[in-house]
Structure 1
Amino acid sequence: MSAALLVLNTGSSSVKFRLFALDEALTLLAGGKVEDIGTGASFKAGLAGAAPQAVALEGADNHDSAMEAVLNWLDAQPQDWQLLAAAHRIVHGGERFTAPVALDQAAMDYLQSLSPLAPLHQPHNLAGVRALARRRPGIRQYGCFDTAFHARHGALFNRYALPDSLFERGIRRYGFHGLSYDWIAHQLRHHHPKLAQGKVVAAHLGNGASLCAMKQLASIDTTMGMTALEGLPMGTRCGNIDAGAVVYMVKGLGMPIEDIEYQLYEESGLKGLSGLSNDVKTLLASSDPKARFALNFFALKVAQQIAAMAVSLGGLDAVVFTGGIGENAAPLRKQILAHLAFLPPFGHLVIAANEEGCMALEIQEHFAKELL
Structure 2
Amino acid sequence: MKSKLSSYILCLNSGSSSLKFSLYDPVSRQMEIAGVINAIGTLNGWFKVSDSRGTLLKNEAGLFKDMHTAVESLTKWLDEHQSKYPLTAIGHRVVQGGPDHRAPEMLTEQLLKTLKQFIFLAPNHLPEELAIIHIFLEKFRNLPQVVCFDTFFHRDMPFCGHHYPLSSKYTSKDLIRYGFHGLSYEYIMLRLKAKHIPIKSKKIIIAHLGNGASLVAVKNGCSIDTTMGVSPIGGLVMSTRSGDLDPGAILFLLKHNKLSVDELDNLLSKESGLKAIAGTGDVRELLEVGHTNATAAKALALFCYTVRKQIGALTAAMGGLDILVFTGGIGENLAVIRSRICKDLAFFGIALDSRLNLCNREVISSEKSRVLVHVIKTNEELVIARHTQNMVQLK
- The bucket for the TM-score relative to the shorter chain is over 0.9
Native 8 Å contact 2:304 2:340 kept in 1: yes
1:231 aligned onto 2:243: no
CA distance in 2, matches of 1:304, 1:58: 41
Q: Which amino acid aligns with 1:337?
A: C
Verify: 1:263 aligned to 2:288, yes or no.
no
Residue 165 of structure 1 pairs with residue 141 of structure 2: no
Give the drift of 1:320: 0.3
Matched, 1:303 2:308: yes
**CA-to-partner distance for each residue in 1:191-226, whole Å, 9 max, x for gaps?**
141455300000001100100001132111111000
Structure 1 stretches of 5 or more lacking a match?
none
Shift in Å, 1:27: 1.6
The number of equivalent residue pairs is 368
Contact 1:5–1:84 (CA under 8 A) maintained in structure 2: yes
TM-score, normalising length: structure 2 = 0.88
Q: 1:298 Cα deviation (Å)?
A: 0.9
CA contact (8 A) 1:60 1:66 kept: yes
**1:319-370 deviation per Cα after TM superposition (whole angstroms, max 9, x unaligned):** 10000111111111111111312224312110101111111122223331xx
2:185 to 162, 181, 184: 181
CA offsets 1:25-50 (integer angstroms, 9 cap, x no match): 21211121223345444311122212
For residues 337 and 19 of structure 1, the distance between their equivalents in structure 2, rounded to whole angstroms, comes to: 37
Percentage identity across paired residues of the two chains: 37
Q: Which residue of 2 aligns with 1:214?
A: 218
Instruction: Say whether the 8 Å CA contact 1:188–1:196 is kept in structure 2.
Output: no
Partner of 1:327: 332
SS at match of 1:339: coil
- 2:384 corresponds to 1:359: yes
Secondary structure (helix, strand or coil) at the match of 2:348 reads: coil
What's the CA shift for 1:272?
1.1
| Counterparts of 1:227 and 1:233, CA distance in 2 | 14
Q: CA deviation at 1:252?
A: 2.3
Contact 1:195–1:317 (CA under 8 A) maintained in structure 2: no
CA contact (8 A) 1:204 1:323 kept: yes
In the alignment, is residue 348 of structure 1 matched against residue 373 of structure 2? yes
* Structure 2 CA distance for partners of 1:197 and 1:260, relative to 1, 3 Å: same
Counterpart residue type for residue 297 of structure 1:
L
Q: Which amino acid aligns with 1:292?
A: A
Counterpart residue identity of residue 286, structure 2: L
Q: Secondary structure at the match of 2:346?
A: coil
Q: Distance in 1 between matches of 2:225 and 2:24?
A: 32
Structural mapping, 1:140-151, within 5 Å: 140-151=144-155
Shift of the alpha carbon at 1:262?
Answer: 1.2
Give the secondary-structure state (helix, strand or coil) at the position aligned to 2:102: coil
Aligned AA (1:273): I
Could you say which residue in structure 2 is the equivalent of 1:285? 288
Query: Which residue of 1 is the match for residue 323 of structure 2?
Result: 318
Q: 1:143, CA displacement in angstroms? A: 0.7
Note if contact 1:68-1:135 (Cα within 8 Å) is conserved in structure 2. no
Shift of 1:313: 1.1
Unpaired segments ≥5 residues, structure 2: 350-369
Alignment of 1:65-104 (within 5 A): 65-77=69-81, 80-104=84-108
What CA distance in whole angstroms lies between the structure 1 residues aligned with 2:284 and 2:213?
Answer: 16
Instruction: Tell me if 1:35 matches 2:4.
Output: no
Structure 2: how far apart are the matches of 1:192 and 1:304?
30
1:193 partner SS: coil
Measured on the aligned residues, the alpha-carbon RMSD in Å equals 2.0
3-state secondary structure, aligned to 2:274 = helix
How has the CA–CA distance of structure 1 residues 352 and 264 changed in structure 2, closer, same or farther, with 3 Å as cutoff? same
Q: Deviations over 1:37-96 (max 9, x none)?
A: 454443111222124354568864444443332233234348644311111110002111
Instruction: Give the Cα separation in 1 of the matches to 2:203 and 2:133.
Output: 37
